[in-house]
């Protein structure tokens, strides 16, 4: 998966419950940090392409920092069903992700380098700097920030557009109620990945729509791929 066009990912901690995702999603984001079964279901998965996330506690996940977290992510990068792995920009900068990056390269697995800020949205120049830094090490630069109002959303969308115009593949979202609509409109500004739970009650980040609703909103707005999911 090269993310040359928009991908809608269904976020879940249970790969056994993804049949419904086929109707709306292009990929599955498997939140292994929230899952009980580890890599086992990935080894047996034959459905939609999988993005594996093993998110740090400090960035909204459930896994503490440590080598075991990264070794699990590296092992995931070698699985045939896995199209991409997500690793934090902070981890990459600390030098802890080299095994993940190398394994991904050796297996033609895409790397999403991500930053999550649940406290707020940095200034526009900082947003562009984060996206540029993540783009240097990953195939997709992901940036999710908490928006406390419309100005924060506008800053993130402007940074998305600027990064896209510079030739970077990015995935952006403004979290929280004020930024909820960004999940539907960000693809119009160049964001390559959207995330949604199968049902809203299973949301993994503030402000998420359920999968069916987000697909319909993107299609209604004339999103990059229209009403039909990629295959």
CA–CA gap between residue 205 and residue 171 (Å, rounded): 15
For residues 103 and 71, is the Cβ–Cβ distance under 8 A? no
For residues 120 and 152, is the Cβ–Cβ distance under 8 A? yes
Q: What is the DSSP string of 53-121?
A: E--BGGGT-SB-SSHHHHHHHHHHHTSTTEEEEEEEHHHHHTTTTHHHHHHHHHTT-EEEEEEEESS--
Selected catalytic residue, list 45, 142, 168, 181: 142
Selected catalytic residue, list 45, 116, 168, 181: 116
Say whether 116 is catalytic. Answer: yes
Say whether 181 is catalytic. Answer: no
Residue 84 pairs with which residues in a beta bridge? 51, 110
Residue 191 pairs with which residues in a beta bridge? 170
Catalytic residue positions, numbered:
116, 142
């Amino acid at each position: 998966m090269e993310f040359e066009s928009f991908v809608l990912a269904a976020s879940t901690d249970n790969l056994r419950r993804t049949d419904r995702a086929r109707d709306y999603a292009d990929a599955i984001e498997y939140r292994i940090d929230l899952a009980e079964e580890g890599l086992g279901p990935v080894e047996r998965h034959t459905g939609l392409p999988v993005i594996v996330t093993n998110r740090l506690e400090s960035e909204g996940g459930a896994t503490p920092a440590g080598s075991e977290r990264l070794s699990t992510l590296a092992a995931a990068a070698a699985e045939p069903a896995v199209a991409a792995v997500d690793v934090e920009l902070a981890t990459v900068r600390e030098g802890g992700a080299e095994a993940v990056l190398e394994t991904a390269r050796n297996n033609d697995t895409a790397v999403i380098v991500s930053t999550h800020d649940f406290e707020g949205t940095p200034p526009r120049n900082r947003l562009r700097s984060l996206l540029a830094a993540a783009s240097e090490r990953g195939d997709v630069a992901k940036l999710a920030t908490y928006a406390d109002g419309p100005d924060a959303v506008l800053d993130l969308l402007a940074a998305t557009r600027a990064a896209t115009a510079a030739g970077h593949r990015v995935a952006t979202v403004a979290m929280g109620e004020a930024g909820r609509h960004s999940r539907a409109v960000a693809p119009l500004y160049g964001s390559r990945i959207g995330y949604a739970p199968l049902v809203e009650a299973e949301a993994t980040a503030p402000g998420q729509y359920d999968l069916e609703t987000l697909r319909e909103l993107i299609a209604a707005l004339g999103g990059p791929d229209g009403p039909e999911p990629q295959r």
